[in-house]
Amino acid sequence: MKSIMVSALLGGAALSLLSSCGQKQETETTTTSKSDAVLRFSAIPDEDTTAQQARFQPVADYLSKKLGIKVEFVASPNYGASVQKFEGGDIQLAWFGGVTGVQARQKVEGAQALVSGEADLKFKSYFIANTSTGLTRSESFPEAIKDLKFTYGSQNSTSGCIMPTHFLMEASGKTPQDFFSKEFGFSGSHDKTAELVNAGTFEAGALNFKTYEKGIASGKLDKEKCIVIWETPTYADYNMTAHPILEEQFGAGFLKKLQTALVECDDPAALGALKRDKLVAVDNATFDGIASVMAKVNFKK
């Protein structure tokens, strides 16, 4: 009987020891996984798709230093790839346009828009034309573009496609397929749209106002050949959206810490990479207008 009791006690002690070891190992594993966790972020390639890594590295450096975590930039070849990487968890943070941000948040429950550039809350698009068309700047929508060879940027671009199409549809009461008498194109990026219109390859196009103004200032665009013929009303656009898995990777409350770090960013290199002077807090509701426009714009025949 005594032998049985001793065995039971030893068995209990062994189980307790094993349980203690298991808890310790689980704690060590959790601690290790958090310390090894990496925040991977990307950005839509709205300009010069070959230089993304160099352009956005300062953002990774800033967040790594500010938050004390590992941060890596992951390039995306096109707008759709940025959303796919976010949906698949390959990236957990992304600098999206208004449309791609909505797409990403619709695909990932719990995803949150954190910040935009201060100017992004009043963004706008330019309709531009080659001066060979004879068009000039107007306060009203330029109906004459219907007979021109016209190009958008990316089909998923907020300022280079979706919002310009929204205003086109409002002004004409027609879809692009019915409005344009010639087949329209998609250049893939804002700077490419500007380049094609400047060269006369396309007679007119739509792009974000910042890219056009930068092109004129740098001399890449000839203001005697490529002019603004109409600017759209303003709308909310670019944003930094975060994946909810970050709360698991770095602990509860991390998204708020990340938002604060971005809002407080005064690092010239990081802000320069985003081409913004200041970042401001936003939420998903900020882009409800974009979501409603997306439901109306359809390029399928």
DSSP 54-85: HHHHHHHHHHHHHHTSEEEE---SSHHHHHHH
Q: How many CB atoms lie within 10 A of CB 118?
A: 12
In single-letter form, the type of residue at position 32 comes to T
Asked if pLDDT for residue 207 goes beyond 70, the answer is yes
Among 211, 231, 251, the domain boundary falls at 231
For residues 204 and 249, membership in a common domain is answered with: no
For residues 53 and 128, membership in a common domain is answered with: no
**16 belongs to a structural domain:** no
For residues 137 and 218, membership in a common domain is answered with: yes
Over residues 186-197, the mean pLDDT reads 96
Asked if pLDDT for residue 122 goes beyond 70, the answer is yes
For residues 225 and 132, membership in a common domain is answered with: yes
Over residues 196-221, the mean pLDDT reads 97
Q: Which of 57, 84, 88, 55 is nearest to 73 (CA)?
A: 57
**102 belongs to a structural domain:** yes
**How, if at all, do strands 125-130 and 226-231 pair?**
antiparallel
Look at residue 74 in the predicted model and tell me its pLDDT: 95
Confidence bin at 299 (pLDDT 50/70/90): confident
| Ranges 31-45, 73-87, 173-187: which has the least confidence | 31-45
Over residues 166-182, the mean pLDDT reads 96
Among 183, 201, 231, the domain boundary falls at 231
Two tokens at 175? 């879809």
Check which CATH number belongs to the domain holding 76 and give it: 3.40.190.10
> 277-289: per-residue pLDDT in tens?
999 999 999 999 9
Look at residue 1 in the predicted model and tell me its pLDDT: 42
Among 180, 212, 231, the domain boundary falls at 231
**93 belongs to a structural domain:** yes
For residues 147 and 282, membership in a common domain is answered with: no
pTM of the entire structure? 0.80
Average pLDDT over the chain reads: 89
Asked if pLDDT for residue 234 goes beyond 70, the answer is yes
Over residues 67-80, the mean pLDDT reads 94
| Ranges 23-27, 116-120, 254-258: which has the least confidence | 23-27
Residue-by-residue DSSP string for 82-117: HHHHHHHTS-SEEEE-HHHHHHHHHHSTT-EEEEEE
For residues 105 and 80, membership in a common domain is answered with: yes
Confidence bin at 29 (pLDDT 50/70/90): very low
**28 belongs to a structural domain:** no
Q: Find the radius of gyration of the CA atoms of the chain.
A: 25
**How, if at all, do strands 239-242 and 112-117 pair?**
antiparallel
Range of the domain at 284: 37-119+236-294
Look at residue 271 in the predicted model and tell me its pLDDT: 97
**115 belongs to a structural domain:** yes
**4 belongs to a structural domain:** no
d(CA 210, CA 226): 15
For residues 99 and 44, membership in a common domain is answered with: yes
For residues 132 and 104, membership in a common domain is answered with: no
Look at residue 16 in the predicted model and tell me its pLDDT: 45
d(CA 266, CA 282): 18
Q: What is the DSSP letter of 158?
A: I
**12 belongs to a structural domain:** no
For residues 188 and 98, membership in a common domain is answered with: no
Q: Which of 283, 295, 244 is nearest to 121 (CA)?
A: 283
Q: Phi, psi (5° rounding) for residue 300?
A: -75, 140
For residues 131 and 223, membership in a common domain is answered with: yes
Look at residue 212 in the predicted model and tell me its pLDDT: 97
For residues 272 and 174, membership in a common domain is answered with: no
Look at residue 7 in the predicted model and tell me its pLDDT: 41
**48 belongs to a structural domain:** yes
Look at residue 35 in the predicted model and tell me its pLDDT: 63
Percent of the chain residues past pLDDT 90, beyond the cut: 83
Look at residue 151 in the predicted model and tell me its pLDDT: 98
Higher pLDDT, 51 or 122: 122
Counting other chains too, the contacts that 259-265 makes at CB distance below 8 Å and 24 or more residues apart are 259/114, 259/115, 261/63, 261/66, 261/67, 262/63, 262/114, 262/115, 263/115, 264/66, 265/62, 265/66
Please count the structural domains in the chain. Answer: 2
Look at residue 36 in the predicted model and tell me its pLDDT: 84
For residues 136 and 101, membership in a common domain is answered with: no
Higher pLDDT, 217 or 17: 217
